[in-house]
Amino acid sequence: MAAAEEQLDLVFLDLGLPDVDGSEVIRRIRSFSDVPIIVLSVRDRQADKVDALDAGADDYVTKPFGVEEVLARLRAAIRRSQAGEPAPATLAFDDLEVDLGRRLVTVRGEPVHLTKTEYALLEALVTNPGKLLTHQWLLSRVWGVGYGEESHYLRVYVRALRRKLGDDASAPRLILTEPGVGYRWIAPRADGEPS
């Protein structure tokens, strides 16, 4: 996939591709990139739009369209992608510290050994504070685009992560379970910044 090999500013995508569904292409791109994606499609059913947006598209334009409108949406998508501040190299939550640059995790100053999968799950949670991260999104992000229905994987790894970080599922201070849907990182930042 060319998007994985090059640094792109924006992706225009038609859902009607010959070899693979456009929504699957969006999910694949989202597994490694936050590049803005604008769908240009003749498909105007609400279900198609919802599927593409849920897969990670930033905008959806139905054909036929005006060139000026598409250019305005392009400019807006690029503005939004450039507006976000880069995440700090180290995130601190009470007695937990996650050094994203060095991939180090400490609790009360003591290093915590996490497996590669546990760390990927923790990184997905702490870099999306307060957001409801669905089972499907987390599975795709942590395990890859071929995953999406294996919610039992998440239960096992979240349980292990909670144990290592000292979080209690019955009185969570870090990871909140949204039953049947996903998980939410709820720990406030130690520096007073909103999570």
- CATH topology for 90-185 is Arc Repressor Mutant, subunit A (1.10.10)
Q: Is there a common fold for 2-83 and 90-185?
A: no
For the chain, which residues make up each domain, given as ranges? 2-83, 90-185
> In this structure, are residues 184 and 130 in contact, taking their beta carbons and an 8 Å threshold?
yes
Q: Has this prediction a pTM greater than 0.75?
A: no
Q: Domain 2-83: give its CATH superfamily.
A: Response regulator (3.40.50.2300)
Angstrom distance (rounded) from CA 179 to CA 185: 14
d(CA 181, CA 2): 33
Q: Is residue 44 a contact partner of residue 62, using CB atoms and an 8 Å limit?
A: yes
3-state secondary structure (DSSP) of residue 159: helix
- From first to last of its 195 residues, the chain has per-residue pLDDT tens of 555 556 778 888 988 888 888 888 888 888 777 788 999 988 888 888 888 888 888 889 888 888 888 888 888 888 777 665 555 588 898 899 999 888 899 999 999 999 999 999 999 999 888 888 888 888 888 887 776 677 788 899 999 999 999 999 899 999 999 888 889 999 888 765 544
